Structure 1
Amino acid sequence: MKHIRLIFTAILVFSISLAYSQDFKIEGEVIGEADGLPIPGVTVFIKGTTHGTVTNLHGKYSLLVTAQDKGKLLVFNHIGMVNQEHTIGDQTTLNISMVSELEELEEVTVVGYSSTSKKLLSSSLQSVDSETLKDLPVATLDAALAGQASGVQINSNSGTPGSALSVRVRGVGSVNAANQPLYVIDGIPVITENSSQVSFSGQTISALSDLSPSDIESITVLKDGAGAAIYGSRAANGVVLINTKRGATGKTKISFNAYGGIQQVYKRLDLLNKQQWFEYKNDQLGIEKYTQEYIDNFPHDTDWQNEIYRDAPIASYDLSLQGGNEKTSFYLSGSYFDQQGVIKGSGYDRTNLRANIDHHFSERVKVGTSLQFGMSENNRIEGDQSLNAPLPNALSLPAIYPVYNEDGTYNEDGPYANPVAIGNEAINKAYTYRGLGNAYLDVAIMNDLTFRTQVGFDYYNLREHSYDPVTTRQGASYNGLGFSANNTSINTTVNATLQYVKSINNHRFDVLAGFSSESYENRSNYIRAQNFSRPEFEYITSASEIIEADSYGLDRGLNSFFAKANYSYANKYIFAFSVRRDGSSKFGTNNRYGTFPSASVAWRMIEENFMKSSSLFSDFKVRGSYGLTGNDAIGDFRYQALYSSGADYNGQPGIAPSQLPNEDLKWETVKQANFGLDLGFWGNRLTLTTDIYQKTTTDMLLSRPLPPTTGFSSVISNIGEMRNTGIEVLLGYEIFRKQDFTWKASLNVSTYRNEVLKLYNGQPIDNIGRGNNRIEEGEPISIFYGYKALGVDSSTGDMVFKDVNGDGEITAEDRTKIGNPHPDFFGGFTNTLNYKNFDLNIFFQYSVGNDIYNGTRVYLESMKGEDNQTTAILNRWRAPGDVTDIPRATANDPNNNNRASSRFVEDGSYLRLKNVTLGYTLPKKITRKAFIDRMRVYVSGQNLFTITNYSGMDPEVNYAGDDGVRMGTDFFTYPNARVYTAGLNVSF
């Protein structure tokens, strides 16, 4: 019996020991409660230990535990999600559905070469998602950002269909290098420059206009040095990261969106009619040359604005398919956009196709591609500074000239070409063909270590065809004039990154290192010919005389190494570091490589114990950063000694030096410090984000004057400095929140002060453009510089100008600062209201304190010459004793009354109702019967009204397009149109 008892005891002890030593697996999947999608990167660990794992790309995990672990807590931790704890029992399968933390904190934001939770950001950036963009019927990517992001100033410059917008992130940062940000689409930098070889006076073609806004999932703007430094030598003006829509697991979703409408010119200039014109001419000549009897019998009184303006249609259609399964997901789309211009002869249409595909080979290997093909046709008209442009000629031609002669031909008797003939007969077309794509490979080497490589390309071809037949004045002078140009650019990019992400208890590490290589090729040719055989034959082959021909080729490269490291403790203390080293063929051997480091830190005070019990604050984060970025957007080979053709001698071809070398040439460098604060109140019902920054550009690329004995007038050198200091505020408030009714509002306000710190030997750069802009130390870049107008001398009728230097004479030495094109502050204000099935979005854009130089008035209020005049001159001085601010009319103007002066500088402040959209979503009980998931109809209006004191046609204007130096000038510029549309959104 004793032996039996011993054997039984031994078996019992062995069994208990075996039970406690036996290992088993717990497996499962982690998904998001809101969307049901798998969540990769979730840390799964046994509480109080370092034993754990991380979910893979499919959100799945597997963890080996022992029977001794039973009763302990299994913790699931992920950025932006509420931690979950589950007791370990006998279960071998445990699927988890994680819920997000506060909405604002759960968002994952795209940053350089990766993404991160918004709450762990220590740099300054701003994101705009597809929900915000979907109700904005805009034609281009950059237009979608207008007024949406603090610190980002976007002006349309003109209403020309398909033309470039100016985008400034935290002000103008350069004189000769570019001021536009770097655009990166799905991880690949894209071509954005104007490749046109036929000048249209500031109305440039933007390569961005060929990309469809309907495919955008999100736009993120990296504003400070810490966020942008990872893009190094091209990030001085900020970085715009654009992610396109991708597939999703589940039922295939078919979406169709369409809108159509009409565009109208909402403001016209008041010009002299026939009667007023002849009276003005008599006054100008000083004699009554045109009697009332003559005027009454004169047959013509043409309203030229009526003749060139039109109500123009606009339409957009896009169709997309989105779906997939656990292995493969896809997003396919096609879109067509057609916009006729409100000025005859102008218009733009675009067709796009896109395919985004992602495939999981296994739990550790994922591949994908993004492909887009687009083509467009841009019908252009000559712009502001041309004698052959419809709008300037329509405004300048007096009403006394008819459109047509009695035989039906165009009348060309006036001082300027017939604008209707130009709009109807001149051919100015630009055709673009765009291929943009990339392919990537993701390999999860380990649960914490991921390798990613990506190859991308951007193919951009622009073909231009222009022809002025003999039925236009310009064409008649050449017996037909034609241009043909072709420009092809190919940018190829290869990226490779290695990322390590590890969470150990409250410590989180995210380290990334990578390499990037870009190569750019450009080939172009151009030909100009005249003397065509017949008006109907518009191509160069029909011309008998070639006037000019040219061809060009360029190859350049950029190789880069970069790294960044992020560390956070308990989601409270956040540190980030990055560095990039770029080598560019644009610079010589002395400075071919540049290094761009950055650092940032953040403290999420809301996670501190003393803040967690607060009923007021739901978020409280303090941020600080400092970083260096570069600007290499200057012409190629500027460091080299160059030779140009054309130095022919005695009938033999020859070349001659055209540029001195400068091997010391290097990037402009921007040093930027930023301090930010992110606050949330009452469960983030009220949110506030504010940033204060100082952004200093050093080693600015400027032309340094040389002695004439060198044979050259100047050489490009790093010799200037400029600074922008600014404040940005973004305020969001959920005003009303009930089951059937919600009302959200957001306001962004931005202000900056620009100052030129250093120029070569302190010498100002003067007489820039139509606005007489000037660059001077101690002043903002591109101030207006001219004479200070004091009013009209009531005894002579001439303008009185201020004698600045007090020498008793008005000379060029009396010119002074007369205006500033930079606003005091600018931004946007949005209201979004939802009541049951109705939705309403109201968006205002504003700019306050900026001046505009109204160059149109210089001619249309000159009261000399043959130009028509505005009705403002009806208040002109006529006799001694008259008190007015409009000088006399005179054919001979010895006082030069219309010289560049403060007379033509106006307040450009405006408040514009940029967009209003009212929508109605049909009830599901109705749409379900037609097998429709969702159907929404809406009406929308753009530029419905503008409150401004500016006398011109449009305050959101610049005749020089996106030029960063010739700023704030209106010179017969194509106005923005008022647009009315109705649309439909359907998904199946």
Structure 2
Amino acid sequence: MKKNLPDRWKLPAKWKKTILVMKMSLILMVWLTISTSAAVYSQHETVTLDVKSSTLIEVLTRIKDQTGVRILYNVSGLRGVTCKDIVLKDVPVEDALRRVLSGTAFGYEQIEGVFVIKAVVKDEKKSVTIRGWVRDKKEEFLPGVTVRLLGTSLGTSTDTKGWFAITLPVLKGTLEFSFIGYKKQKVDFTEKTDTLRVVMEEDVAALEEVVVRAYGTQNKREVIGAISSVKAEEMKELPTASIVNMLQGRLAGVNIIQQSGAPGSASVIAVRGFNSLLVDGASDGQPLWVVDGVPMHSFVSPVTGTNTLADLDPAMIESVEVLKDAAAASIYGSRAGNGVILITTKKGKAGTTKFAANISYSVSQVQEYPLQIGGRMERWFRNQVMRNRLATGYDWNKQLTYYPSSYESVYLSGGTYDGWWVDGRPDLLGNPVLQDSLNPFYNNSTNWWKHIFRTAKVVNANLQVSGGSERFQYMIGAGWYDEKGIMLNSDYSRANMLINLQTQPTKKIRVDARVMLSYVDRSISRDDGMGGTRRYEGITVDPSKQSTTLPNDGLAEDELLKNINLQRDRTDDYRAMASMSVQYNAWKGITLSASGSVDYAQGNKNQFKPSVLNPDEKENMSDGSIGRAVRLETEELLHWRESINEAHNFDLLIGLNVNKEQQFLIAGFGKRGPSDKIYYYSPPYNPIFNYGTETNPDWRATTSYNSDFREKTMVSYFGRLGYNYKQRYLVEIGFRRDGSSTFGENHRWANFPSFALGWAFSEEPFMRWAYWLNWGKLRGSYGTSGQIFTSEYMAYGLFVAGASFNGNPSVIQSKPVSPNLTWEKSSQYNIGLDLDMFDYRLSVKMDYYFKYTSSLLYKVRLPGTLWGAEDRDENAMEVSNEGIELELLAHILRSSKLGWRMKLNVSRDWSRLEKTYTGKDIGGGYNGFVIGRPLGSIYAFNDTGYYQNEGEVPVYTDIKGNKLFLGGVGAFTGVSGLLGTQRISDASGDYDIQPKDMYYLGSALPLVYGGWVNELTYKDFDLNILFNYSLGRKMINMRNASLSGTDGPVFADVRKLTFWQKEGDQTDMPAIGRPYYPQVRSKIERVNLLSLKQLTIGYNMPKKVMEKIGFSGARFFATGENLFYWSNYSGGNPEVVDVYSGLDGGMAYPLPRKWTLGLTLNF
């Protein structure tokens, strides 16, 4: 409130005017004093400098620190501006600024003692407009190229057609053109300059400047973890259902073995060696797969047998990064013990809408038919087998034994063959006939493999639409993949869709959303019985039931293939993955984000087996099951990035993750359906049937049902702090703490720290002499990661339904409680060296690692039995992996017309079993483990040739005077002690040859593996060649065991083998007809393999031609897959041989040879 003063307190009017003048004079005097002081202060301050190769911001900062004067400038405008080398001693501030700013596009102005740095504009009254276009050496226009007046922040960018126009306040100067993946170009201009025509050159070093890592991206120069990367361009145009097979041979330290050629089947993948004991299901030993930051289910479906990784359409993938060492992967904690594979899908970019369509058609054929003799040769060999075994026929008319000369003579005379000479009457003995070799009708050699294999086709098509504005970008893709396997009843079809959306409603908020849908229809191989699934798909027929002596087609073929043709199956897999994240830029350098995701997978199966395939009980059976898996996950992140004076760079990440998984399964079967033409089952009123007789009844249920539900939860806290000084000295610290409901209360939490250092020694002044070295960095790290087993209740024990008692149901314990179960932990050291040389023409990456995995899960034998349980799961074993990796990337030719890019990777891993729960070797026979030896053990008997004479045969005489063989007659191996049979060592000395007498004789794992890629370009043509190799695998060809039988097919070319006949013979095989056991020392082969996995020839249509018809580009390509292989293995392609056991029984699904023609259109 305003108050009125009494009149006596009011000043005269002239006094008011005098006081006002005094106030203004006082303010003016103070201002002059301050200004003069500032000016005098600055004039008397001096500067001393000695700088080389420094930025302008760094020099100005040193001047401020020395003098205390105020210097103002626009940081973004000066960022990246350098000044020439300068030496000053006691120079006034203004003179120092003039000399520092000379040679740049900047000057200064002093305003009230403050030096303001600003761009120099020579003639502000005149301007010039510069126009032009930018394209690459392939004459393709480049949109989005940044065009900037050198030394200023004035700039623009090219439009979608590569054109630009910019008005500049100077009459002459230099324009700088920059674009990701290309070298910067500087072009001078004047006021008379017409249209600028700029051709940009690819920058090999900049193409991989940004690397995807856990929870974000990182500049390549700042990476100090062991990360291998492959881009989509390197994997294109390979017709395969799974991304795993496309990575084979392309990444150092990542061993991928395609153990089955069945469409949609899984492959072996091991990051930095094998360390799994294979006791935790079909997903055991697999790395963690992360798609766009969201971990996903990766396993073989327990219902349909489908590899869930095949749900990912390779055409929708932008890049793949593999985190190999603990420093890179430990932020994923207990899921990263086997490595982490990051998948980045394609996303939209601002600009006009773009369409990309791809369609290809492939023809698949078997590389080589399995070896099998037939016809006259097979009959001759079988006759020799039976004669050597002294097996004769019996003529009931003459009451004499004799060697029959024909089937007809014995059959018509009422004779029968003995146990070896089967009579060919299925109603009597059910044995296949060994046809009459004297009858020309049976002198055929029908190879039934040619009826089981087929020439198959693959159709692959996808369409992608992308585009958007600065605030909204989208990418929508849809694909269809249909592959018929080269073997009957092995088909795979997939329909999929991917939607990626990014929007920025405000300057501070960004929203990302992704939806991925897929549907798979797949036929299942039945080599392992009705309703079974395998880790790696095998062949769809049983070769031991074939006979090549049956002639031609017709009834014989129908009988052979009816097991495939008459069974009906329908399997479906549904997959839906969705995620959304919201990112908020809270403050400068600080972002907050929250995300949620769901991964839903469902597998349905229904199989029907008609009664004709069950001749014993003459009943049909319908088998069905449904399995569902749901994964829910939420994640909150705080991310802070700060750069101080462009020298000290900080990167901090803090996060919280919560995820929950549920699995649900229902399954059942029904027998004795109403008809073989109705493939589904509806139970009768009383589903019980008497399988016995009225006098001896055997009542059984004709239906069965079971269900299962499991769930687990995990909570994780994690963080990572990175610091580097001018990208020269780098350090990174990571930590994760996981808690899981899988473990008991005392072991529920585990910690996973990591630490890494890096030194870019090429940036040091003392390395300036190495003019050929563009970049050199040393890396070192240590960290821990872990592996959580898949079973949800392993620590708590399991109960199942038991037998009823007095009509009441009961439950019994199927798995005992394991209260001390804890996490599998891996501690890993890594030392690496990165080199870029000769203008980035040659890049070398070398790594040495040592990983020690403790608390590995294993089934420990219990003393006696505990409520029916013979073993218990415990953390009982320890394994180490040590290895070296080498990656070479050479740009041998990189001109605009002719290019040659070569990439070679070599890996060597030593795995060792370090410790067992007993302190001794465990097991033996087929699956033992030896301390100090690699995993993948091969156990075999020690053989020393064949018994040459009676004196070599160990015998003893019983009380009746009979001489008996001291070697386990007819026991495990069938060795009988006859002359010409195998001489096998009795290691235990108990005169009984059993698996306990086997020795450890090597490992089935490769000693060295890798790949070799060559990419050649000539004008519009390109050629891509991929070789894959492995060295030093040990394996045994078990198929020669067919030589000792008297029926069934013979999987060996007996014309190329030698057989023992007399004393002194040194042969491949024992005497014809003698028992033969192939799992012996002398039959172990050390196998090397070189495969031409992929060869692609492509042609890009001229861009000008395509633009005339409304397309922006078109490409034709032809691809061959699994074209050739070179190996010293006796059993064909060794890649499909089980990498864990090394035993080749001939049941693997062969790898197909594929020929593909395709077309890619862009518009």
- Give your verdict on TM over 0.5: yes
Residue 336 of structure 1 pairs with residue 480 of structure 2: yes
Residues 405-458 of structure 1: per-residue CA shift (max 9 Å, x gap): 65x9933xxxxxx2x222322223321010011001011001210011111111
Q: Which residue of 1 aligns with 2:677?
A: 536
Other-structure match for 2:448: 304
Which of 360, 367, 370 is matched with 1:266 structurally? Answer: 367
In the alignment, is residue 972 of structure 1 matched against residue 1147 of structure 2? yes
Distance 1:698 1:776 in 2: 16
- Counterpart AA for 2:342: L
Correspondent of 1:400 among 543, 549, 563:
549
The letter for the 2-side match of 1:556 is: K
> Where does residue 314 of structure 2 map in the other structure?
213
Q: How does 1:581-596 map to 2 (within 5 A)?
A: 581-596=737-752
Partner in structure 2 of residue 983 of structure 1: 1158
Q: Percent identity?
A: 27
Shift of 1:878: 5.9
Measure how far apart 1:532 and its partner are.
2.7
How big is each residue's C-alpha offset from its partner over 1:472-500, in whole Å with a ceiling of 9 and x where there is no partner? x3577552222101001110111110000
Structure 1 counterpart of 2:1031, one-letter code: V
Letter in 1 for 2:295: P
Aligned twin of 2:844 = 688
Question: Would the alpha carbon gap of residues 390 and 362 (structure 1) be closer, same or farther in structure 2, given more than 3 Å must change?
Answer: closer
Q: Summarize the Cα distance change of 1:336–1:475 in structure 2 as closer, same or farther, 3 Å threshold.
A: farther
After TM superposition, the structure 1 stretch with the greater mean CA deviation from structure 2, 358-367 or 377-386, is 377-386
Equivalent residue for 2:195? Answer: none
Query: Shift in Å at residue 794 of structure 1?
Result: 5.3
Q: Tell me, in whole angstroms, the C-alpha distance in 1 between the residues paired with 2:781 and 2:789.
A: 25
Partners of 1:899 and 1:439 in 2: how far apart? 57
Q: Is 2:216 aligned against 1:117?
A: no
Deviations 1:723-744 (A, max 9, x none): 0100000001111122210101
1:888 counterpart (1071, 1078, 1087): 1071
SS of match in other structure, 1:278: helix
Q: Residue in 2 aligned with 1:58?
A: none
* Structure 1 residue identity aligned to 2:221: K
User: Deviation digits for residues 128-155 of structure 1, max 9, x if unmatched?
Assistant: 1122122433321211211111000011
Residue of 886, 889, 910 corresponding to 1:753: 910
Residues 337-736 of structure 1 correspond to what in structure 2 (within 5 A)? 337-383=481-527, 391-394=540-543, 396-401=545-550, 410-411=558-559, 418=560, 420-471=561-612, 473-474=613-614, 478-505=618-645, 506-541=647-682, 546-708=702-864, 710-711=866-867, 712-736=869-893
Change in 2 beyond 3 A, CA 1:492/1:856:
farther
Q: 1:763 to 1:635 in 2, by over 3 A?
A: farther
Deviation (angstroms), 1:683: 1.4
Q: What code does the residue aligned with 1:834 have?
A: T
Separation in 1 of the partners of 2:946 and 2:323? Answer: 50
Letter in 2 for 1:517: V
Question: Could you tell me how far 1:521 is from its partner in structure 2?
Answer: 1.0
Give the Cα–Cα distance (whole angstroms) in 2 for the partners of residues 805 and 197 of structure 1.
44
Q: Which amino acid aligns with 2:638?
A: L
Q: Could you list the per-position Cα deviations for residues 825-861 of structure 1 after superposition, in whole angstroms to 9, with x for gaps in the alignment?
A: 0010000001000010000011111122334343x33
- Give, in angstroms, the shift of residue 819 of structure 1: 3.3
For residue 716 of structure 1, what is the amino acid of its counterpart?
D
Indicate if the aligned counterparts of 1:957 and 1:968 stay in contact, CA closer than 8 A.
no
Q: Deviations over 1:283-332 (max 9, x none)?
A: 12115545475342437643110110000001100000011111100000
Q: Is the 8 A contact 2:463 2:477 kept in 1?
A: yes
Aligned pairs (5 A) from 1:260-299? 260-286=361-387, 288-289=403-404, 291=406, 294-298=438-442
Preserved contact between residue 839 and residue 919 of structure 1 (Cα < 8 Å): yes
Residues of 2 paired with 1:970 and 1:899: CA distance? 10
Q: Contact (CA 8 Å) 1:316, 1:338: kept in 2 or not? A: yes
> What is the CA distance between 1:888 and its match in structure 2?
2.5
Question: Structure 2 vs 1, CA of residues 798 and 86 (structure 1 numbering), >3 Å: closer, same or farther?
Answer: same
Quote the Cα distance in structure 2 between the aligned partners of 1:354 and 1:864. Answer: 57
Question: Counterpart of 2:346?
Answer: 245
RMSD: 3.6
The alpha-carbon distance between structure 1 residues 917 and 213, as it changes in their structure 2 partners (threshold 3 A), is same
Q: Return the match for 2:940 from 764, 781, 786.
A: 786
Q: Partner residue of 2:469? A: 325
| Deviation of the 1:717 alpha carbon | 1.5
Q: Please give the alpha-carbon distance, in whole angstroms, between the structure 2 residues aligned to 1:518 and 1:211.
A: 22
Q: Does 1:823 align with 2:971?
A: no
Q: Is 2:846 the partner of 1:740?
A: no
Alignment partner of 2:1104: what SS?
A: helix
Kindly state the Cα deviation for residue 788 of structure 1 after the two structures are TM-superposed: 2.5
Aligned partner of 2:235 among 127, 133, 136: 133
The corresponding residue for 2:125 is none
Query: Structure 1 residues 446 and 379, CA, compared in 2 at 3 Å: closer, same or farther?
Result: same
Task: Determine if contact 2:832/2:845 at 8 Å carries over to the other structure.
Answer: yes
> Any unmatched runs of 5+ in structure 2?
1-20, 40-55, 65-70, 77-108, 121-145, 156-167, 184-202, 393-402, 407-435, 533-537, 688-700, 950-978
Amino acid at match of 2:909: Y
Provide the residue aligned with 2:1114 in structure 1. 935
Aligned equivalent of 1:844: 1027
The CA deviation string for residues 229-250 of structure 1, in whole angstroms up to 9 with x for no partner, is 0000010000001110001011
Amino acid at match of 2:1084: V
Are the aligned partners of 1:824 and 1:850 in contact in 2 as well (CA < 8 Å)?
A: yes
Which stretch of the first structure deviates more once superposed, 134-143 or 913-922? 134-143
**Larger CA deviation: 806-815 vs 423-432:** 806-815
Give the Cα–Cα distance (whole angstroms) in 1 for the partners of residues 115 and 178 of structure 2: 23
Letter in 1 for 2:1122: N
Deviation at 1:66, TM superposition (A): 10
Which residue of structure 1 aligns with residue 116 of structure 2? 70
Residue 951 of structure 1 is matched in structure 2 by 1130
Aligned length: 921
In 1, distance between residues paired with 2:848 and 2:241?
32
Q: Which amino acid aligns with 2:849?
A: Y
Query: Are the aligned partners of 2:72 and 2:117 in contact in 1 as well (CA < 8 Å)?
Result: no
Q: For 2:301, what is the secondary structure of its paired residue? A: coil
Distance 1:708-1:933 versus aligned 2 partners, 3 A rule:
same
Q: Does the Cα contact within 8 Å between 1:794 and 1:883 map onto a contact in 2?
A: no
- Give the structure, 1 or 2, with the largest relative contact order (CA under 8 Å, sep 6 or more): 1
Which of 1044, 1051, 1057 in structure 2 is aligned with 1:862?
1044
Q: Distance in 2 between matches of 1:447 and 1:54?
A: 14
C-alpha spacing 1:254/1:476, structure 2 compared with 1 (3 Å): farther
After superposition, residues 155-194 of structure 1 pair within 5 angstroms as 155-175=257-277, 176-177=279-280, 178-194=284-300
Counterparts of 1:577 and 1:502 in 2: how far apart (Å)?
17
C-alpha change, 1:45 and 1:608, in structure 2 (3 Å) is: closer
Correspondence for 2:425: none
- Higher mean C-alpha displacement, 94-103 vs 950-959: 94-103
- Work out the CA distance in 2 between the residues paired with 1:929 and 1:831: 33
The question of whether the paired residues in 2 share the 8 Å contact of 1:45 and 1:53 is answered with no
What CA distance in whole angstroms lies between the structure 2 residues aligned with 1:70 and 1:52?
A: 6
Q: Which runs of 5+ in 1 are unaligned?
A: 22-42, 56-64, 75-80, 199-203, 412-417
The structure-2 alpha-carbon separation of the partners of 1:531 and 1:874, relative to structure 1 and needing over 3 Å to count, comes to farther
Contact 2:666 2:706 (8 Å CA) reproduced: yes
